[in-house]
Amino acid sequence: MVSDGLGASGLVDTIQYILSPREAYAAEQQWRVVKRSVDARQRELKVHLTVLTDEQGHPIAKDAPIPLYAPPVFQDVHDAKRQVVIIGAGPAGLFAALTLIEHGIKPIIYERGKEVSERKKDIALLNRNEGLNPESNYCFGEGGAGTFSDGKLFSRSKKRGNMQRVMELFHYFGAPDTVLYEAHAHIGSDKLPSIIKRMRECILEHGGEIHFETCVTSLKEVRGERLEVRGTPIILAIGHSAHDTYRMLAAEGVKLETKGFAMGVRAEHPQALINKLMYHLDKGERDQLIKLVGNASYSLVTQVEGRGVYSFCMCPGGHIVPAGSTADGCVVNGMSASHRNSPYANSGMVVQINPEDIPGDDPLRGLEYQEELERLALTHGKAPNIAPAQRMKDFVDGKASKDLPACSYLPGIVPSRLDQWLPAHIGKRLQQGFRDFDRKYPGFLTNEAVILGVESRSSSAVRIIRDQETLQSISTPGLYPCGEGAGYAGGITSSALDGINAALKIAALA
C-alpha cells in the first residue's frame, strides 16, 4: 500500500497495480480507481492504476463515493473595503478573483471579450469562415484562451504551489472526478464553457464585478475611472495574444523583455493511424485499451541544429481551429471535445526560438516576428481563414501536394509550398524533426498526414518582468503581471495557479 500525496483530497489509502490493458479494463469495472496512466515506453504496454482502499487495504468498489476535499468558502465581498482590479478573465484572472473572494477582497474584472455564450456565436461564425471578431474569438472572451480548448490539465508540478487546489476548484465548478486523480486529465471544449459560467456566477453572487467588452487601453484609466487614483492593486492577466496591450504597457513604461518561444505548424493524422503507432497491440487489445483510456496521444521531441523541435498541445480525436485574433494573419491551434472521438489526431509541431535568433534589442521584437509569420501564412492561404497546407511527406521531400487529405479544420485548407516559404530555420528543422519522429514511430511521416500554417501562439514571446518575491512588476509597483501573458506560466493549470499566487500575495499585504 502506498500514500501518493493525494492527502489534500482525503484520498490517503491507495494501492498501485501495473497491469496489461485487458486486466486494467477488468479492474476499472470493479474498483474505485483514483489515478491512471499508461506506460507506452515498452513494446508491451502497461497501465498503472492507483486504487482506493479501505482501512484493511482492500480495494474499494467502483461506485463507492469519492472522498472529497474541503470545499472553498467564498465570502460576501459586496461591501468589502479592499478591492483589486483584474485585467483579463482567463484562467489566471478567474482563479485570482475566486481566491480574492475567499480572502474577503472584492475583485473587479475587466475583460475585452464577451461572456461565454455570446462568444460561442462569434466562434461559430469564425468556423464557418464568416468573419473574425477581433475582440471575441478563440483567444479573447470569458474564460480566455482555455475555454474552447482541449482543456488538458497537465501540470501537476508542486514546485510553484498547490496545483491540487486548482484541480479541486475545477472540480467544484463541475469538472469530472478524473481531474482529481488522472495524470493527464482533460475536460474538453464542450464542457469548459459551463464550468467557466459557474465561476462567473459565483464571483457575481459573492459581490465581485465583471465588465465584459471592456478593453483596458491604459493602466491609468478604465471606463473613465482613474485606476491610479483608486490606488487599488492591478492583477494583469492578459494572456499572450493581446499584442496591442503589450504595446500599451511598453508605451506606459512597464518593464518588458523578449523571451524564448516556439513556432511552427499544426500536423494532423488519421486518429486510427496514431492509435496503431502508439499502442503496440493486436486489434482486440488495442480496442480494449481505447475503451479504457481513449484515443492515443503522443509527445515527441528532438534536437535539430541546436534547437528543440517538439510536438505541442496534442489533441487526440480533436479539431484544428482558427486561433488568430487579428484579420491580417493566419493562426491555427487545436482542441478536442470531452470524448475525443473525432477521426483526427492533431498536434502543434514547433521549433524553439531563442531571443538571440531575432536581431535587435526591442523587447517586443518576438511579437513582430510572430506577426510576420502569421501574415506570410495568410498570403499563402486564402483570406480570411483558409489555411495553407501540405501533405507531411511532400513537405519533407520538397514536393507540391497535388491534393490534400480530409482535414478537421472547418474554414478550409488550400495546397501550398510550406517547404518553400517557411523561414529555413523553422522549415528545415521541422523537416528533420519529422524524419526523427518517423525513426521513433515508423509510419509517422506519411502523406496521410497534413500540416497547416502557422502555429505561432504556442507560448508568450514577451516577459513582463516581476519581482520573484513580491510578484509585482519591477517598474510599476502595485501591478501584478501573472499567467501566460506575463511569461511565467504556460497552459491552463499553471496560469490558474499563477493567478492564485498573485491573489495570495495581495491578500497577505493586509
Residues that bind ligand FAD (CB under 6 A): 87-93, 110-113, 138-141, 144-146, 149-152, 215-216, 237-239, 242, 245, 313, 321, 323, 333, 335, 483-485, 490-492, 495
Minimum separation from the CB atom of position 510 to ligand FAD (A): 26
Residue 360, helix vs strand vs coil: coil
Residue closer to ligand FAD, measured from CB, 258 or 495: 495
Q: Name the residue among 470, 429, 447 with its Cα closest to residue 392.
A: 447
Distance CA 190, CA 174 (A): 12
Minimum separation from the CB atom of position 252 to ligand FAD (A): 12
Residue closer to ligand FAD, measured from CB, 146 or 388: 146
Minimum separation from the CB atom of position 490 to ligand FAD (A): 6
Using omega within 30 degrees of 0 as the cis cutoff, is the peptide bond preceding 384 cis? Answer: yes
Residue closer to ligand FAD, measured from CB, 445 or 464: 464
Minimum separation from the CB atom of position 1 to ligand FAD (A): 32
Please measure the distance between the N-terminal and C-terminal CA atoms of the chain and give it in whole angstroms: 44
Residues 6+ apart with CB under 8 A from 369: 353, 358, 461
Residue closer to ligand FAD, measured from CB, 87 or 202: 87
* 43 C-beta neighbours (distance < 10 Å), count: 7
Residue closer to ligand FAD, measured from CB, 59 or 88: 88
Minimum separation from the CB atom of position 61 to ligand FAD (A): 32
Residue closer to ligand FAD, measured from CB, 94 or 389: 94
- List the alpha helices (DSSP H) in 279-409: 283-293, 365-380, 392-397
State the DSSP code for 7: G
Residue closer to ligand FAD, measured from CB, 50 or 245: 245
Phi-psi region of 104 (alpha: psi -120 to 50; beta: other; left: phi over 0): left
Between vectors from CA 157 to CA 155 and to CA 163, what angle results, nearest 5°? 75
Residue 262, helix vs strand vs coil: strand
Minimum separation from the CB atom of position 163 to ligand FAD (A): 12
Residue closer to ligand FAD, measured from CB, 14 or 295: 295
Residue closer to ligand FAD, measured from CB, 149 or 476: 149
Minimum separation from the CB atom of position 211 to ligand FAD (A): 9
Which residue matches cell numbers 456565436?
121
Half-sphere exposure of 149 (CA within 13 A, CB side): 26
Residue closer to ligand FAD, measured from CB, 335 or 351: 335
Burial 381-390 (b: 16+ CB within 10 A, else e): bbebbbbbbb
Minimum separation from the CB atom of position 117 to ligand FAD (A): 15
Three cell numbers written together for 319: 479539431
Distance CA 494, CA 161 (A): 9
Minimum separation from the CB atom of position 157 to ligand FAD (A): 13
Bridge partners for 312 per DSSP: 348
Strands 319-322 and 450-455: unpaired
Which residue matches cell numbers 493562426?
331
State the DSSP code for 69: P
Minimum separation from the CB atom of position 326 to ligand FAD (A): 13
Distance CA 304, CA 456 (A): 19
Please answer whether residues 333 and 457 qualify as being in contact, where contact means their C-beta atoms are separated by less than 8 angstroms. Answer: yes
